[in-house]
Amino acid sequence: MLEAENVVLRYARPDGGQQIVLDHVNLTIEQGERWAVIGPSGCGKSSLLHLLAGLAQPNSGEVVYQGQQLKKPHPEISVILQEYGLFPWKTVAQNVALPLLLQKRQKKEIKERTNDLLQMLQLGEHAKKYPAQLSGGQRQRIGIARSLAVRPKFVVCDEAVSALDVSIQSQIINLLQDLKEQQNLTYLFITHDLSVVRYVSDRIGVMYLGNMVELAPAQEIFDRPMHPYTQALIAAIPTVDSRDGELKIIEGDIPSPVNPPVGCKFHTRCDYCTEICRHVMPEWEEISSGHFAACHHMHEISG
């Protein structure tokens, strides 16, 4: 359905130099899949979202949607924004109707579609209220309704549940899954929260400082992580059977994306680092069917 092929994205710096935000990233999303891209702040997740939604263009490589190069926003691609992305001075109904207004749909169609969505997402009684009058979960449902207004086929969820209470997160995740089944949607979740993505994704890509360091079916990421960064992320997930009450943490700070390390970008924080890691970027390798990683020592690590 959608492919990113060796995409590179650079931003101009105030000093006249360039910062590489995405460094030869590849991914393929099949129709009906639930994809997730995880990684820390500043790793390039949001920039990747912009490319896959047609909101930005790569400096090299290309994004292909349904066989056509994606050069601008596509009517079949929609985004659920972080922190809801609602206009506080517009009512619930006006927020949901906005994409249809921008597409200059007929008034009758706009009214019918908006009402249908409000009923579908249990917002009908709140149509004339303003976002500030509603709870976080209700505001997120408004964002979801708005993203579905144009009947998209591919939906990008940008930290769609990160601002919500855990119990509300579950409600929204279940809602998204129901909508997927009802409307045959394809999802891409952009997030930093591994404990959420294991329940919402079929495949997971792990990013670090602009590079995809591992990509695999979701269960495989948790059962058999091959990159040291992925292993560290999973080791840091809280579990009910933690005996000492302490979580494992990744030592050191994330290097500046303006001046990333030479070689493997994770080597400054990696327990397995050797001389080659400091000088040579590891190659992207398929370990097993659909499971890729980039690490000089992953075969030794995996045993």
Phi first, then psi: what are they for 205, rounded to 5°? -110, 135
Consecutive H or E run containing 26 = strand 18-29
Helix spans in the chain (H): 45-52, 92-102, 107-120, 136-148, 166-183, 194-200, 218-223, 228-235, 275-279, 298-302
Distance CA 38, CA 199 (A): 13
Contact 21, 11 (CB under 8 A): yes
Q: Name which of 196, 161, 165 is nearest 81 in CA terms.
A: 161
Q: Between helices 136-148 and 92-102, what is the axis angle to 10°?
A: 20
* Burial of 198 (C-beta count, 10 Å sphere; 0-12/13-18/19+): middle
Structure-token pair, residue 129: 């209220």
Q: 54 to each of 22, 39, 62, 73, 131, how far by Cα in Å? A: 15, 21, 11, 4, 28
Distance CA 245, CA 76 (A): 46
Q: Hey, is 89 helix, strand or coil?
A: coil
Distance CA 262, CA 269 (A): 13
Partners of 141 in beta bridges: none
Distance CA 236, CA 219 (A): 17
* pLDDT tens for each residue of the chain, 303 residues long: 999 999 999 888 777 777 888 999 999 999 999 999 988 877 888 889 889 988 889 999 999 999 999 988 898 998 887 655 788 899 999 999 988 888 888 889 899 999 998 988 888 899 999 989 988 888 888 888 888 888 899 999 887 666 566 777 777 788 888 888 888 899 998 887 777 787 788 999 999 999 999 999 999 999 999 999 998 888 877 655 555 555 566 777 788 878 888 999 999 999 899 999 999 999 999 988 889 999 999 877 765
Contact 103, 114 (CB under 8 A): no
DSSP 132: G
Amino acid present at 14: P
The pTM of the full predicted model, rounded to 2 decimals, is 0.86
Residue 140 pLDDT = 83
State the Cα angle at 6 between 287 and 72, rounded to 5°: 135
Q: Name which of 26, 10, 104 is nearest 58 in CA terms.
A: 10
Contact 30, 79 (CB under 8 A): no
